[in-house]
A and B are shown apart, each in its own frame.
Chain A
Amino acid sequence: MSHHIYLDNNATTPLDPRVLEAMMPYLQDRFGNAASRSHSYGWDAEKAVEEARQHIAELLNCSPKEIVFTSGATEGDNIAVKGAVEMLAKKGRHVITAVTEHKAILDTCKYLEATGRADVTYLDVDKTGRVSVEQVAAAIREDTILITLMAANNEVGTLHPIREIGALAHERGIWFHSDATQAIGKTPFDVQELNVDIACLSGHKLYGPKGVGALYVRRRAPRVRLTPVIHGGGHERGMRSGTLNVPGIVGLGEACRLAHLEQQKDAAHCRELRDRFEQRILAALDHVELNGHPTERLPNTSNLSFAYVEGESLIMGIPAVAVSSGSACTSASLEPSYVLRALGVGDDLAHSSIRFSTGRFTTEAEVDEAADAVIQTVSRLREMSPLYELAQEGVDLSTIQWDAPEPH
């Protein structure tokens, strides 16, 4: 692996060594099935699972009985949205979400629409990526049963006004689901304070293992019941059958325990390095745009558009740094990010966008080296960019009639 500076913590985080240590016994001699009632292997596994549940409950400020283990946030989103729509089918069929949600929400909503089970309103976002409480209020219908909005966006880090939207949902008797995958561990996420009824999280976004996650399902005021997506055995209060992934759950529990203890410290660390990185780049380069909200944003995320430079070529020029491109230029369609498009970022700038995300283990020396590599590469690529040349000549690029060489 040539990459040695990891600035893609929104894609996945490294496993914290303390998490691995907690998991190891459950990958070795403590291999019991948590559902086995007749021997100590099972009791031991069950105890470990319940401890993990307790840690997650403390992080979210809920009862451990309100935690359902899943394989990750994609499954959590599926259970939340499909489960709520099916459970409340007699009450209504309208769901409110936003265009910048993760595909786990959007594809699920489209599936429910295509199969005739729900009507879905996809709220637009403002140019910072936010929806307002007023927008949500205006979208509510008589038959609205669910509002689902992510706490923080994965690409640009924008935070929605979750607390206010949750209060509105409660006032109107509508269940409120929040995909908190990116927010948990990076910002405080207290389900009581935020008025959230359902929330999902994923282990590998907070220094835990992949393939495990949790769903918070409120038991009182309102009492939320979700029709299961996976049947077979009635585990997890019937909401998610299947033998529990004990080592994964132990890892998730330890990751949440650490997140509860260290969230403030992690956030301060990530923010300091992210800001340092941004300042270094903005001091050296012009024509750099920040995508997302300047302040209502995850502390670790920096999505930048480097005008006149194509993102994939920039990534190629910083081989020591692991980041994500704002456009999926690896497909023949050259489709820019739908999230950036929703923010009103032009397709040209979307092709010039890179997401940098710091983490618990990022160091100052790393962000300095990464920023310097970006500055050097952007400068070099601009020297060979015909767009930069035209802009320097004073040509307004938007007035040019460009070729459309092939359909795409």
Chain B
Amino acid sequence: MAYSDKVIDHYENPRNVGSLSKSDRTVGTGIVGAPECGDVMKLQIKVGDDGVIEDAKFKTFGCGSAIASSSLATEWVKGKTVDEALEIKNTDIVEELSLPPVKIHCSVLAEDAIRAALNDYRGKNADAAPVEQAAEKPGE
């Protein structure tokens, strides 16, 4: 399969690989996917006092498109408020990375990872309203 230049760029030079402290109150962690399905994404956000996402990190087990989708997601959430980050749709990722139909699930997973991380952050900070019902995420 031929990958788009943007997928290859994110695969070769992934942005924001790493981990933030899960126990930090200002950090939200989302882990989605399953090893048996060949895709697991961990996406973390760190929210500043002003409600703006000041840092984001990811780690992904998955194909090049999955790595690129999560790498791109960390780039996009940075500098956004939690509400703004929720506006990111998987279709935006598909478009940006020119993902073929068989790789659309990678973008869906990235969107799920963003939501899971935002949910986790909101759950930790009871003063904020929950984003939406979220299943318990593994590894926490």
Binding site for B on A (CB under 8 A): 308-313, 316-317, 327, 329-332, 334, 336, 346-348, 351, 383-390, 395, 397, 400-406, 408
C-alpha gap A397/B138 in the complex (Å): 10
CB pair A385–B36 under 8 Å, yes or no, is no
* B8 proximity list for chain A (CB < 8 A): 316
C-alpha gap A403/B35 in the complex (Å): 10
CB pair A384–B37 under 8 Å, yes or no, is no
C-alpha gap A164/B94 in the complex (Å): 55
Interface size on B, residues (CB 8 A): 39
B46 at the interface (CB under 8 A from A): no
- Shortest beta-carbon distance from A99 to chain B in Å: 19
CB pair A389–B137 under 8 Å, yes or no, is no
- Contact residues of A: prevailing secondary structure: loop
Binding site for A on B (CB under 8 A): 1, 3, 8, 11, 14, 17, 19, 31-42, 58-64, 66-67, 101-102, 105, 108-109, 112, 135-139
- Shortest beta-carbon distance from B132 to chain A in Å: 15
Give which listed residue, B1, B38, B136, B139, contacts A351 with CB less than 8 A: B38
CB pair A332–B41 under 8 Å, yes or no, is no
* A311 proximity list for chain B (CB < 8 A): 38
- Shortest beta-carbon distance from A288 to chain B in Å: 16
C-alpha gap A276/B109 in the complex (Å): 39
- Shortest beta-carbon distance from A329 to chain B in Å: 6
Give which listed residue, A331, A351, A403, contacts B102 with CB less than 8 A: A331
- Shortest beta-carbon distance from A242 to chain B in Å: 35
Q: Say yes or no: A389-B35 contact (C-beta < 8 A), given A332-B101, A384-B17, A405-B109.
A: no
Known: A347-B35, A403-B31, A403-B32. 10 other contacts (CB 8 A): A310-B38, A311-B38, A317-B11, A351-B35, A386-B31, A389-B59, A401-B136, A403-B138, A405-B39, A405-B112
C-alpha gap A404/B17 in the complex (Å): 24
Q: Say yes or no: A387-B37 contact (C-beta < 8 A), given A310-B61, A316-B63, A401-B138.
A: no
Q: Say yes or no: A313-B35 contact (C-beta < 8 A), given A387-B40, A389-B19.
A: no
Q: Say yes or no: A385-B102 contact (C-beta < 8 A), given A403-B138, A405-B112.
A: no
CB pair B102–A312 under 8 Å, yes or no, is no
* B137 proximity list for chain A (CB < 8 A): 403
CB pair A404–B37 under 8 Å, yes or no, is yes
C-alpha gap A213/B41 in the complex (Å): 46
C-alpha gap A388/B62 in the complex (Å): 12
Question: Which of chain A's residues has its CB closest to B41's CB?
Answer: A386
Question: Which of chain B's residues has its CB closest to A383's CB?
Answer: B17
Max count, chain A CB within 10 A of own CB: residue among B11, B14, B34: B34
Q: Which 4 A-B pairs rank lowest in CB-CB distance, beginning with the nearest?
A: A348-B35, A402-B34, A347-B36, A386-B42
C-alpha gap A405/B1 in the complex (Å): 24
C-alpha gap A351/B40 in the complex (Å): 12
CB pair A310–B39 under 8 Å, yes or no, is yes
Give which listed residue, B61, B105, B135, contacts A406 with CB less than 8 A: B105
- Shortest beta-carbon distance from B89 to chain A in Å: 16
Question: Which of chain B's residues has its CB closest to A308's CB?
Answer: B61
Q: Say yes or no: A384-B67 contact (C-beta < 8 A), given A332-B105, A395-B139, A403-B135.
A: yes
CB pair A309–B61 under 8 Å, yes or no, is yes
- Shortest beta-carbon distance from A37 to chain B in Å: 51
C-alpha gap A386/B19 in the complex (Å): 9
C-alpha gap A402/B64 in the complex (Å): 21
C-alpha gap A186/B62 in the complex (Å): 34
CB pair B59–A346 under 8 Å, yes or no, is no
* A404 proximity list for chain B (CB < 8 A): 34, 37
C-alpha gap A163/B53 in the complex (Å): 67
CB pair A334–B35 under 8 Å, yes or no, is no
CB pair A408–B37 under 8 Å, yes or no, is yes
C-alpha gap A146/B76 in the complex (Å): 61
CB pair A330–B139 under 8 Å, yes or no, is no
Question: Which of chain B's residues has its CB closest to A334's CB?
Answer: B38
Give which listed residue, A317, A395, A405, contacts B33 with CB less than 8 A: A405
CB pair B32–A313 under 8 Å, yes or no, is no
* A316 proximity list for chain B (CB < 8 A): 3, 8, 11, 63-64
C-alpha gap A401/B33 in the complex (Å): 10
Give which listed residue, A351, A384, A401, contacts B59 with CB less than 8 A: A384
* B108 proximity list for chain A (CB < 8 A): 405-406
CB pair A313–B62 under 8 Å, yes or no, is yes
C-alpha gap A408/B37 in the complex (Å): 8
Ordered by A's residue number, 28 sampled pairs between the chains whose C-beta atoms are within 8 Å are A308-B61, A310-B63, A312-B63, A313-B62, A313-B67, A316-B3, A316-B63, A330-B1, A334-B37, A346-B36, A347-B38, A351-B35, A351-B36, A384-B17, A384-B58, A385-B60, A386-B31, A387-B35, A387-B61, A390-B139, A395-B139, A402-B138, A403-B33, A403-B34, A404-B34, A405-B33, A405-B39, A405-B109
CB pair A397–B60 under 8 Å, yes or no, is no
Question: Which of chain A's residues has its CB closest to B109's CB?
Answer: A405
C-alpha gap A310/B41 in the complex (Å): 12
Q: Say yes or no: A312-B37 contact (C-beta < 8 A), given A386-B31, A400-B138, A403-B32.
A: no
